[in-house]
């Protein structure tokens, strides 16, 4: 990745809440990941609360060598270094999110649980998900959707959403008008198998339903960095972050409060 492209990608991540880097996984490695994820998915019952995510199977690198290989995959680490995001570390695993043929859309949500912590206002990324789709995604088979900029700026939709996943999303109705709305600012993000999608935990995102006859599998891994101002950051540091007590404990919550402006 050239320095120009790296800067452009990081700026897009900062402003829009996501960026896509193509051609990160090789065909051989993709085959290994498909085989292993199919094996794991097919070896267990899928509980009813997996309906909207398709599956939510957490796999540690220490338990599955192929996941360990993905965590340490050099082309991805090189891309991060080029973007000066090399201080992002994996939480140690990937989640297999596999939308079966005919699976419903995933509702609008964000995944940051630290909204009581002033670090939530950071204008730079602190908490990211790395997504590898194992087949090309399209509007028909369940591609990702994002509402750019919503990691930093509140829109009326945030206040109408049920918190994601175990905090409420599992149990929403399939025709919930807010959770599944067609928001005018939403963008679809169809990507090639083997591309790396880097996105903000704070940004509103969703996925289309899978209207194809093939499983759409995604491997999603959480990454975070130390709670410091990144070396590349030349903009202002918000007052609440400068005054933040690094030793304070914050009650987890998925509901954005005063720190989403």
Ligand X SMILES: O=C(O)CCC(=O)C(=O)O
Task: List residues near ligand X by CB under 6 A.
Answer: 53, 97, 106, 111, 144, 205, 207, 218
Q: Which does 113 bind (CB under 5 to 8 A by kind): Fe ion, ligand X, none?
A: none
* Minimum CB distance to ligand X smaller for 168 or for 230: 168
10 or 205, CB closer to Fe ion? 205
User: What is the smallest separation between the CB atom of 231 and Fe ion, expressed in angstroms?
Assistant: 28
108 or 241, CB closer to ligand X?
Answer: 108
For position 165 contacting Fe ion by CB under 5 A, the verdict is no
C-beta of 239: minimal distance to ligand X in Å?
31
Question: Considering beta carbons, is residue 6 or 147 the nearer one to ligand X?
Answer: 147
Interface with Fe ion in residues 91-150 (CB under 5 A)? 111
Least Å from the CB of residue 205 to Fe ion: 6
Q: Minimum distance between the CB of residue 229 and ligand X, rounded to whole angstroms?
A: 28
Number of residue whose CB is nearest ligand X: 207
Shortest spacing between CB 259 and ligand X, in angstroms: 20
Helix/strand/coil (H, E, C) string of the chain? CCHHHHHHHHHHHHHHCEEEECCCCCHHHHHHHHHHHHHHHHCCCCCHHHCCCCCCEEEECCCCHHHHHHHCCHHHHHHHHHCCCCCCEECCEEEEEEECCCCCCEEEECCCCECCCHHHHCCCCCEEEEEEECCCCCCCCCCEEECCCCCCCCCHHHHHCCCCHHHCHHHCCCCCCCCCCCCCCCEEECCCCCCEEEEECCCCEEECCCCCCCCEEEEEEEEECCCCCCCCCCCCCCHHHHCCCCCCCCCCECCCCCCCC
Choice between 118 and 209, CB closer to ligand X: 209
């Amino acid at each position: 990745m050239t320095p120009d492209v790296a800067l452009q990608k990081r700026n897009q991540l900062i402003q829009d809440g996501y960026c896509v880097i193509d051609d990160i996984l090789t065909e051989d490695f993709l085959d290994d990941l498909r085989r292993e994820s199919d094996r794991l998915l097919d070896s267990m019952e899928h509980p009813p609360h997996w309906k909207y995510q398709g599956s939510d199977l957490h796999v540690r690198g220490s338990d599955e060598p192929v996941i360990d290989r993905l965590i340490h995959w050099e082309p991805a680490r090189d891309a991060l270094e080029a973007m000066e995001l090399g201080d992002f570390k994996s939480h140690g695993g990937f989640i297999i999110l596999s939308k079966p043929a005919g699976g419903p859309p995933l509702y609008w949500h964000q995944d940051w649980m630290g909204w009581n912590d002033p670090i939530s206002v950071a204008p730079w990324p602190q908490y990211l998900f790395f997504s590898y789709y194992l087949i090309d995604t399209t509007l028909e088979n369940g591609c990702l959707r994002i509402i750019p900029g919503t990691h930093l700026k509140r829109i009326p939709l945030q206040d109408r959403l049920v918190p994601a996943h175990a905090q409420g999303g599992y149990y929403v109705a399939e025709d919930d008008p807010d959770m599944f709305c067609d928001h005018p600012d939403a963008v679809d993000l169809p990507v090639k198998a083997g591309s790396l999608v880097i996105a903000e935990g704070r940004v509103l995102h969703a996925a289309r339903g899978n209207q194809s006859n093939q499983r759409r599998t995604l491997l999603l891994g959480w990454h975070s960095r130390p709670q410091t101002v990144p070396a590349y950051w030349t903009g202002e540091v918000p007052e609440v972050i400068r005054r933040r007590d690094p030793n304070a404990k914050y009650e987890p919550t998925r509901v954005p409060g005063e720190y989403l402006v």
